[in-house]
Amino acid sequence: MIKPLLSLLLCVSALSVSAQPTVSVGRGGITAEMLQQMRKSHPTTSADRALRNALAGTSINQLATQANNPDATDRHFSNEVPSKGITDQKSSGRCWLFTGLNVMRSQMIRQYGLGDFQFSQSYSFFYDQLEKSNLFLQAVIDNAKKPMSDQLNDWLFKNPLSDGGTFCGVIDVVSKYGLVPADVMPESYNANNTSRMANILSLKLREYGLTLRKLSAAGKKSAELEKQKLQMLGTIYHILTICLGEPVQHFTYTLRDASGKALGEMKTFTPQEFYKEYVGNDLKQTYVMVMNDPSRPYHKTYTIDMDRHSYDGLQWTYLNLPMEEIKPLAIASIKDSTMMYFSCDVGKYLDSNTGVLSLRNYDYESLFNTQFPMTKAERIQTFASASSHAMTLMAVDLDKEGKPSKWMVENSWGASSGYKGHLIMTDQWFDEYMFRLVVDKKYVPAQTLELLKQSPTKLPAWDPLFAGEE
């Protein structure tokens, strides 16, 4: 009886094994043999086990932090533009707006001897969101005859509205709507926390975009579509007033110096009048935007489709220069006590505790026993790096030969963030992760300005370098 029973058990076992599902691996898939080879290629060592145990309870950056990094303690700067007051964009993507306004307020503080003066970010943001809404709706009208699958239409409906942007948005909004002091239209919860408002506005804009396309398909002419657009914008304006408040049209104000003394009599202004009296310069003619993109030819100009904040706004031209030609512009501006709009890939190698951006902050190579050799050009081409954040460039440390060793920016993350509200970056980090600089034309050599006369190469809205700063 034992042998038949054993035979039966063996048969059942065989059937069970044969009943196991087999995994079919198509061409290019991971096979069992490949998995085995992977396991053998990096046999687990005692050091690996120690690292694995450490990472179970801590972050990669904490474990990769380089001890005794000298970059974390050097805070001397040979040339620094005086600054008063750190702004805070809170939970919003308005860094571009804070930075642009901080450039202008720095000039105003210096000229009039002011204390901690700020322009109203909320006022400018209101009109930025309204103008961007119109930009989207008008672009939908312009492209209504193209299918939804068209790449531009696809991009439009994926990106109907954003609180991110670039300096051209500052120019568009300020030139058209002027400026008001911060205490005339202060920040609100939804100005500081923009995500829910943005979701609601984007949902409404997508709905309106589809409506406009349906009307176009039904044979409605452009005049009728734009009439519908105006009604739609009325609703957008209403939502914005509920979230941000009604933007002021007139206000009474006088500037006060650092001691609190009034500088003249109280006066009633429109926002446009206030801008003309205290800032005054034509922003469109004052500045040039230079960029560093080694994936494209230098000394060429570029523009990008939809790279503006208003439909009738400035289509910015970018001048691509090597770093050795950008740095002298920045140094000249700082030496003349003039801050600049500056953007970079701020998340790379940032030690948020010290406020230092240094390639020596984290040793990922030793932690994972591999290299990360991609160049700046390769990182741009593969979407591994792009401009992500704008700040105000305001200091440089020059050695005895006049070459920069480090830079400092005034940030908009509050006074407790980083180094007293600032970030310090080594010159090596600057080379790798700086992308854009807006500089007054008076600091730019004539032969460089001549390059702006070129007919710019137009790039699509989805180009990897031109994501808006947040």
Tokens of 341: 């709009």
Q: At what angle do helices 222-244 and 121-142 cross, to 10 degrees?
A: 160
From the list 292, 320, 344, 389, the catalytic residue is 389
Average confidence (pLDDT) over 140-165: 96
In 3-state terms, what secondary structure has residue 208?
Answer: helix
Average confidence (pLDDT) over 19-42: 82
Using CB atoms within 10 A of its CB, is residue 122 exposed (0-12), middle (13-18) or buried (19+)? buried
Residues 345 and 383 sit within 8 Å (Cβ to Cβ):
no
From the list 69, 95, 292, 422, the catalytic residue is 95
Average confidence (pLDDT) over 312-324: 93
pLDDT value of position 470: 87
pLDDT value of position 1: 47
pLDDT value of position 316: 83
Q: How far is CA 423 from the centre of its chain?
A: 16
Which single residue is written with the structure tokens 């650092």? Answer: 258
The superfamily CATH assigns to domain 79-466 is Cysteine proteinases (3.90.70.10)
Residues 307 and 321 sit within 8 Å (Cβ to Cβ):
no
Using CB atoms within 10 A of its CB, is residue 72 exposed (0-12), middle (13-18) or buried (19+)? buried
Residues 127 and 173 sit within 8 Å (Cβ to Cβ):
yes
pLDDT value of position 88: 96
Q: Is the pLDDT assigned to residue 10 strictly greater than 70?
A: no
| 299 part of the active site | no
Q: Is this prediction's pTM over 0.75? A: yes
Query: Which ranges of 114-160 does DSSP label H, i.e. alpha helix?
Result: 121-142, 151-158
| 76 part of the active site | no
Q: Is the pLDDT assigned to residue 3 strictly greater than 70?
A: no
Query: Could you tell me the sign of the dihedral formed by the alpha carbons of 98, 103, 104, 106, in that order?
Result: positive
Domain ranges of the chain: 79-466
| 95 part of the active site | yes
Tokens of 123: 């006022």
**β-strand pairing of 457-459 with 404-410:** unpaired
Highest mean pLDDT among 8-17, 170-179, 457-466: 170-179
Using CA atoms, how far apart are residues 338 and 431, in angstroms rounded to an integer?
A: 21
pLDDT value of position 22: 54
pLDDT value of position 18: 46
Average confidence (pLDDT) over 424-444: 98
pLDDT value of position 15: 45
From the list 69, 102, 153, 411, the catalytic residue is 411
pLDDT (tens digit, 9 = 90+) per residue, 122-138? 999 999 999 999 999 99
pLDDT value of position 73: 84
Average confidence (pLDDT) over 372-380: 96
Lowest pLDDT segment from 11-25, 81-95, 152-166? 11-25
Average confidence (pLDDT) over 297-324: 93
Q: Is the pLDDT assigned to residue 67 strictly greater than 60?
A: yes
Average confidence (pLDDT) over 342-356: 96
pLDDT value of position 314: 81
Tokens of 153: 């239409």
Long-range contacts of 102-106 (CB under 8 A, 24+ apart): 102/339, 102/392, 102/410, 102/412, 103/339, 103/340, 103/341, 103/392, 103/438, 104/174, 104/179, 104/279, 106/81, 106/338, 106/339, 106/392, 106/394
What is the rounded average pLDDT for all residues in the chain?
93
Q: pLDDT class for 221, splitting at 50, 70, 90?
A: very high
Q: pLDDT class for 23, splitting at 50, 70, 90?
A: low
pLDDT value of position 2: 46
Lowest pLDDT segment from 64-78, 184-198, 268-282, 321-335? 64-78
- 2 or 155, greater pLDDT: 155
pLDDT (tens digit, 9 = 90+) per residue, 381-407? 999 999 999 999 999 999 999 999 999
Query: Could you tell me the sign of the dihedral formed by the alpha carbons of 98, 104, 108, 109, in that order?
Result: positive
